[in-house]
Structure 1
Amino acid sequence: MKGAQENSHSKTPSTSTKRSGSSLGSVDEYAAQCKNCMKWRVIDTQEEFEEIRSKFIDEPFYCSKRGKSCDDPADLEYDSTRTWVMDKPNLPKAPEGFRRTLVLRKDYSKLDAYYITPTGKKLRTRNEIAAYLKDHPEHKGVSVTDFDFSSPKVMQDTVPEYFEQKDSATKRPKVVVKDEA
């Protein structure tokens, strides 16, 4: 495990995006880190991940919650074979019928959070959610405050080498392609 990960962020549940395959740009695997041994355990579904993440501070994750022991090998190793992102702990689960979706920007600068409604509409802002809830009174008890657009942190040491993150002076994305010659 890299030293940069031995901080408070490393104890929060994590998502990762693989670099190869058709899922580039979206989360394709969920993982949580054991509070005792710091090993990463794969979480089977987004729903299960959101449940763990929503209670993480009060109910930390342990290997035993996945039927494993801290003596077992890690399910995933934190390395640069995939781009890792760290979600904040204790974010609320998506309301019943809604799904939170995260999409990695092409420049690897951040992920954008969206909510998919039960009717399949993609909502990008709190204003869009408020309008949707107003137009769909069947979602009684669901409030705009039940949605969180916080973006997970992209772990810079896992971003492909040929990408340079946003230049802080211009705030414009810079993509640098590595010379293969």
Structure 2
Amino acid sequence: MADALRTWYPDVVVGAESYHLDEEYYHRSVQLLETEEERDTLALVLRHAEGIVGLVMLTKDERSRTVTSRMGALAPDHRRGAVGLLGIMLFDAAAKKLGASVVYTFVTLKSKHQQLIYERFGFQLVGIMPAWDIDMIEPNRPKRVFEAIYAKVLAPKSEWHIPQRDTMTARTRALWDFLFTPDDLQAMDTSQSR
């Protein structure tokens, strides 16, 4: 798997995703078929006739009922057409199956395409994390990168608590108003389509 990941996703050698290159990580932290105890990290493996062609890693938090996509990688030959959307479709379906109330992920700002895919699947941009991860910008030149945070609320609106405006600083209120117009909040209520 490590060799395939290096080919599919060259940035995996540095930063938060680099532990996916360590075989022991899967045996220690990931829910595998032969694992007796339940673990919080799940690997969704995408297979095709020639073998494994993709991997989506999810982490669930039972207490907050959230699921995070930690990493997704797909063999370049399988990125065109609808197959390239399979990872996000699996992420979305798995989160619902796991009973998540909210799903979220960090998305690279190096690819408009990745951002558009998440937006097309109903995820909303909720922020940008400054210098959050490390990517290989050029060969042998890792740098800290900013990443977009996308989220989708699966919990019905009746479970939400909208904060009072007087509990927010002026800057927080301005960001709230930018991110969450009344129409955006209405669109985020996916409970009608569950």
> Fold match, TM over 0.5?
no
TM-score (norm 1): 0.28
